[in-house]
Structures are given as C-alpha cells and as structure tokens.
Amino acid sequence: MTHPIPRKTFQTSEAASQAVAQEIATLIRGKPKPVLGLATGGTPLKLYAELIRLHREEGLSFAHVTTFNLDEYCGLDREHPQSYWNFMWRHLFDHIDIDPANVHLPSGTVAEQEINNHCAAYEAAIMNAGGIDYQVLGIGRTGHIGFNEPGSAIDSKTRHVLLDPITREDAAKDFGGIEQVPTGAITMGCGTILSARRIALLAFGAAKAAVVDAATTGPVTDQLPASFLQQHPATTFFVDQELADAS
Ligand code: PGA
C-alpha cells in the first residue's frame, strides 16, 4: 500500500536533528534491547552530536543498544579515514557507552568470494537482534537510500553494489578526487530498510528539495529508490526550512 509520507519541517537542521534524537532517546529508554539502523554522510552529524550530548548531559545510556549501519565502501579497511567504520567511531561510538560487540557495519575488505556469505550473515544478524526498531536515513542526489542506487529492487537485501557516477562525484571532495572514490560498496537492501519498524529520513538544504519532493509525492519507482518509502507505514521525512522554501 502507498502512504503519503509525512514531512516535518524545522527552522534549522539542528532542530530537526534534535527531534530525531528525542525519538531515539525515547526508544532507548523504553526498550530492553533497542536496535538502531544508522547512516553516514554529512546529514546525520548534528543528530550524532545531539545523541552524544544526551549521553553526557542527560545520562542516556547506549549500553543495551545494538546498531547496524547501512553500508560500507568496498576496498577500504576500518582504519581508512573515509571508511564508514572510521566515520561512525569518530562521530558517535567513541563518545558514548555502546558495547563494541553490539556495533555492526558491513566489511569493506571481505574477500570477493565471501561477499555473498557476508551479506547473508549481515541480514541474519539483523534478524537475530530482533529487527531494526529505528532506521536513520539520508538521501543522495540520485534518490539513493543507503547505497541503493536507481535500478535497485524494492525487495533487495544486503548485497554488493556499484556506485552511481553522481554518488562518486559527490564523494570526490572527501576523497581528494573522483579517481580515489571506491567504485563499489556493500549496502543493506531496500527490502532490509523497509523492514525497519520506524524510519526517519533527514534532508537539509535547498539542493535536496527536488529529490525529496520526487521521493515523497512522485511515482513509486526503482529509478528513485527513496520513493519506495511511500510503501512503508511509519516513515517521516525531517527537513529544514531551507529545503521547504526551495520545494
Ligand atoms: P549526505 O549524503 O548526508 O552527505 O548529503 C546523503 C546520502 O548520500 O545518503
């Protein structure tokens, strides 16, 4: 079934991030074994800063929390400055009381012949943890969620994918040139994401307005994987006024 996706607009990206952090804090305080799906990129940085503040100043404990990240670049080991493993520890995990055993990201260095097993094990680990209670998403210019680029199937699972040239272009500044950007990644699938009980997609700034409009009100199409979220019963888009003004 297709649902209109509710959009909550906040004056600033800080305020939007605080609202998402409050939802996460409520979940964490109310459930013995909450499971979070986490995202990387510029968009969730203020959310992670707020979760760290809640931990330090308001006693929010992550000791009983399990996390699964959306994706990882192929070819980058954990220590690589652009790996998502590195990103997550730098921007969140190093600053909260999470048990490292409860942190999960796909591996960027698993041997090629092991990738399928690795992806199946990632799906199984999510299931064994009880499924994702709350999935945080960003959205790329291509309409990707995770690294599910146009053409991804609605029921796709964790798998190896090739990155869209636009996505590689957007990552070029972080890598010091497009030729340094990996060509592949391992990502949760659209189906994996849609299995989450609640989904919060964050998008800020005028440049994201067109893709957010298309995802929320356009046709549901594999040419814009974020539009699949119209078929999820509990997704909200959290946007800032700058995006709203441009949409
Ligand atoms: P960004 O990336 O947060 O860096 O804009 C979002 C995404 O590609 O999903």
3-state secondary structure 126-138: HHHCCCCCEEEEC
Ligand 1 atom with the shortest distance to the CA of 202: 3
In the reported structure, the alpha carbon of residue 225 is separated from the centroid of ligand 1 by a whole-number distance in angstroms of 14
pTM equals 0.97
Query: Between the CA of residue 83 and those of 79, 166, 171, 182, what are the distances in Å?
Result: 7, 19, 12, 10
Whether residue 93 contacts residue 103, with contact meaning beta carbons closer than 8 Å, is answered with: yes
What is the count of structural domains for the chain?
A: 1
Domain range for 60 is 7-246
pLDDT at 1 over 80: no
CATH number at residue 39: 3.40.50.1360
User: What is the Cα–Cα distance from 152 to 221, expressed in whole angstroms?
Assistant: 10
pLDDT at 223 over 90: yes
Pocket of ligand 1, beta carbon within 6 A: 41-43, 138-140
* Per-residue pLDDT tens over the stretch 108-154: 999 999 999 999 999 999 999 999 999 999 999 999 999 999 999 99
In a domain, residue 51? The reply is yes
In a domain, residue 140? The reply is yes
User: What is the Cα–Cα distance from 140 to 167, expressed in whole angstroms?
Assistant: 7
Looking at residues 214-224, what average pLDDT do you find? 96
Looking at residues 182-190, what average pLDDT do you find? 98
In a domain, residue 107? The reply is yes
In a domain, residue 93? The reply is yes
In the reported structure, the alpha carbon of residue 143 is separated from the centroid of ligand 1 by a whole-number distance in angstroms of 10
Residue identifier of the C-alpha nearest atom 8 of ligand 1? 140
pLDDT at 2 over 90: no
* Per-residue pLDDT tens over the stretch 196-208: 999 999 999 999 9
Ligand 1 atom with the shortest distance to the CA of 144: 9
In a domain, residue 1? The reply is no
In a domain, residue 241? The reply is yes
In the reported structure, the alpha carbon of residue 43 is separated from the centroid of ligand 1 by a whole-number distance in angstroms of 6
In the reported structure, the alpha carbon of residue 148 is separated from the centroid of ligand 1 by a whole-number distance in angstroms of 12
In a domain, residue 211? The reply is yes
Q: How would DSSP label each residue in the chain?
A: ---PPPEEEESSHHHHHHHHHHHHHHHHHH-SS-EEEE--SSTTHHHHHHHHHHHHHH----TT-EEEESEEETT--TTSTTSHHHHHHHHTGGGS---GGGEE---SS--GGGHHHHHHHHHHHHHHTT--SEEEE---TT--BTTB-TT--TT--SEEEEPPHHHHHHHHHHHTSGGGS-SEEEE--HHHHHTSSEEEEEE-SGGGHHHHHHHHHS---TTSGGGGGGG-TTEEEEEEHHHHHH-
Of 13, 84, 139, the residue with max ligand 1 atoms within 8 A of its CB, to mutate for a pocket test, comes to 139
- Listed in sequence order, the residues at least 6 apart from 236 whose beta carbon sits closer than 8 Å to its beta carbon are 5, 6, 7, 8, 199, 200, 201
Q: What is the structure's pLDDT at 3? A: 77
In a domain, residue 16? The reply is yes
